[in-house]
Amino acid sequence: MINYCEHCGTKNDDPNNKFCSGCGKQLIYEHNTMNNYNTTSVEKKAKNKRLPVWAIVLFVIGGFFAFCFALLILLVVFVDVDENEYDPDKQIEEKNDTIKSNDNISSNLEELSGEKLKYNFSKACEQIKMNISEIKQLKQVDDWNSGPRYTFVYHGQQFVLYALDNDDISSITIGNRFLDKIYLDGFEPLNVNNFLFSSSARTTLGVKAEDKIKSYLKYPSTADFSWTEYEYARRYNIYQIVGKVQAKNALGVEGEQKFTIEFKKQNNDFDVVYLNLGGKKYIGSGSQMKEVTRKEVQSSNKTSDNNSIVLKDGTLGKYGKKDNFDGEEYIRYYIPAGKYKVEAITKNAHFFVETIKLHKEDGWDTATTIKNIKLNESGDTTEFTITNEQCISLVIYTQIKLTKIK
């Protein structure tokens, strides 16, 4: 057998030689050839690099779950959904699931009668930037002319929800002295946050108001403010407080004076821009509380079946026109002539078919009434005929659906 020296690698042909002929050191691995030595080393290295069984099992399981996850993503991305398909019942169910998933929201809407009303109310709140979860003390009160009515508290202020018998929302009104309609069907929604008068602002401005008013009193030390009777209102950056103060006048006689004071918020500070005390203007020439204006949501008055016409009091739509009666504008509706079936959308729906041409009666502009039609309940129907010389005038809150009879 041929031995190779481990120390210097010299080949030693004599199998009996125990010492290397090259370096003279003892041949220790005299029974291994170089080829056997190299082969054994490679096998040992390969064996040391082989993964244990448990690692291989984990690798296989991980690969399986990664494959399943990738397949799920592909199904979600490439599933064929018709985005234009509208299913109101499905939307209501989905909204209900969302509502039910939040115990606070669910309990807040329990008083509302019916899932459709809950859905429509939540959508209206969304449009006016009102957080449903922060609504408190929601309760049903006496019905109004066209359906159920509810009151609730939001950020310390009273609100009224006016619903219709068909569970649509007519309006959401804030309980300030102007009764501003934050949501009004047929019109652009307002942002409720521009009308909230917070409790902290009431405290701060209440103190400022009393200090300012005292500066105009002859005997400020006698001033007694009835702060529990204050009325608060806010429109955008104008804050208004209306109240009464008891104090002695210039003659020393105790008396009550009403006041209106307004603040304008600028750069996180409040400046007095109007003060009326006892009917006299001390600051400003008039109230800065401007009328709220909003645009009508464009509507063709057509229903989803495209064969019927919906008329809503207060909105123009396609057929409405503002006519002048003694300097006042009233909306009347000019629909095509023909015979119609009319269905009440709201209860106590009331309208007139009248002449377009006006005449004077007791000195007032007046139209001649052709038909006076009243439908007591939502869903009630009747028929009428209208000519090209006639139009329709709706009584307040009325909503009707007209279908032409061929």
Report all structural domains of the chain as residue ranges with CATH numbers, in order of start: 89-194 (no CATH), 201-283 (3.10.450), 308-404 (no CATH)
Of 99-113, 173-187, 205-219, the range with the lowest mean pLDDT is 99-113
Q: Are 202 and 209 in contact (CB under 8 A)?
A: no
Q: Is the pLDDT of residue 5 over 80?
A: no
Residue 291, pLDDT score: 87
* Spatial CA neighbour of 245 closest among 215, 205, 282, 214: 214
Backbone φ and ψ of 287, nearest 5°: -60, 140
Which pLDDT band holds residue 55 (cuts at 50, 70, 90)? low
Beta strands in 22-168 (DSSP E): 135-144, 147-154, 157-163
AA letter at 186: G
Report pLDDT for 29: 46
How high is the pLDDT of residue 287? 94
First to last CA, the chain: 118
Which H helix or E strand runs over 93?
helix 88-100
Average pLDDT over residues 155-182: 92
Q: In angstroms, rounded to a whole number, what is the distance separating the alpha carbons of residues 26 and 3? A: 11
DSSP letters of 106-128?
HHHTTTSSSHHHHHHHHHHHHHT
Nearest to residue 110, comparing CAs of 146, 135, 145, 144? 135
Mean pLDDT, residues 336-365 taken together: 94
Residue 346, exposed/middle/buried by CB under 10 A (0-12, 13-18, 19+)?
buried
| 405 within 8 A of 338, measured Cβ to Cβ | yes
> Per-residue confidence at 302, pLDDT binned at 50, 70, 90?
low
Separation CA 186–CA 312 (nearest Å) = 8
Q: Identify the pLDDT of residue 105.
A: 52
Least-confidence region, from 23-37, 125-139, 171-185: 23-37
Tokens, residue 167: 């569970």
Who wins on pLDDT, 384 or 48? 384
pLDDT of residue 109: 85
| pLDDT for res 249 | 84
Residue 261 in this model has a pLDDT that exceeds 90: yes
Give the torsion sign (CA, 372, 377, 378, 379).
Answer: negative
Contacts of 381 by beta carbon, 8 Å cutoff, 6+ apart:
341, 342, 343, 344, 375
d(CA 276, CA 369): 46
Higher-scoring residue by pLDDT: 87, 157? 157
Average pLDDT over residues 100-126: 79
More reliable by pLDDT, 56 or 229: 229
CA 243, 246, 250, 251 torsion: positive or negative? positive
Provide the 3-class DSSP secondary structure of residue 371.
strand
Tell me which of 106 and 146 has the higher pLDDT. 146
pLDDT band, residue 227 (cuts 50/70/90): confident
In this predicted structure, the answer to whether residue 2 has a pLDDT above a threshold of 80 is no
- Evaluate whether 284 touches 262 at the Cβ level (below 8 Å): yes
Q: How far apart are CA 336 and CA 338, in angstroms?
A: 6
Q: How confident is residue 33, by pLDDT bands cut at 50, 70 and 90? A: very low
Task: Compute the distance between CA of residue 134 and CA of residue 324 in angstroms, rounded to an integer.
Answer: 44
- The model carries a pTM of 0.65
- The DSSP-derived string for 4-34 is E-TTT--EE--TT--B-TTT--B-S-TT--H
For β-strands 3-4 and 381-386, DSSP reports them as unpaired
Is the model's pLDDT at 89 over the cut of 50?
A: no
Q: What is the mean pLDDT of the chain?
A: 82
**277 CB-near residues (< 8 Å, 6+ apart):** 213, 216, 245, 257, 258, 259
